[in-house]
Amino acid sequence: HFDDKEPMQSYRQSYFALVASNFGPMGAMVKGDMPWDDAKMQAYAENLDTLMELDLLRGFAAGSERGTTRAKPEIWENQEDFADKFEDLRKAVDALDDVVEDGGERAAIARAVGETGKACKACHDDYKTKD
Ligand code: ASC
């Protein structure tokens, strides 16, 4: 069944894989671990913005707890806070997409990437196990 535990775990893990494969290279460009490429920066920002329109919370439906994943049980005990943190990520990505789309300075893009990374981390700190 599509709403069973394992399909929902696969749904959210696939979602985060897409987020990470777009945000990862943006972070790498900011850190100088990858050559800066404005076109790539724009494409990844646009992808992230599109991903923020998807319903992540469906992937954390009741009954889809942990299993072999790194999702902490606290997610299902603090659903409002969890949803708020996802909303914080959406806002950070929105600001990041704006600065990239506007052809912002690298320093401004770097700041927005940093703020987005903080939103990722705030949720991981509370709701994702270390390994
Ligand atoms: C990434 C990634 C994360 C976040 C996090 C930010 O690129 O895969 O989970 O950034 O490291 O602190």
Which of 74, 56, 55 has the alpha carbon at shortest distance from 65? 74
Complex prediction ipTM: 0.93
121 lines ligand 1 (CB under 6 A): yes
Give the Cα separation of 71 and 81 in Å (integer).
Answer: 15
CA of 110 to the centre of ligand 1 (A): 14
Closest C-alpha residue for ligand 1 atom 1: 24
Distances (CA, A) of 62 to 9, 66, 70: 11, 11, 16
Give the DSSP letter of residue 60. Answer: G
24 lines ligand 1 (CB under 6 A): yes
CATH number at residue 120: 1.20.120.10
Amino acid of residue 123? C
The number of folded domains in the chain is: 1
What is the full per-residue pLDDT of the chain (131 aa) written as tens digits? 888 999 999 999 999 999 999 999 999 999 999 999 999 999 999 999 999 999 999 999 999 999 999 999 999 999 999 999 999 999 999 999 999 999 999 999 999 999 999 999 999 999 999 98
Domain that holds residue 117: 5-127
CA of 111 to the centre of ligand 1 (A): 15
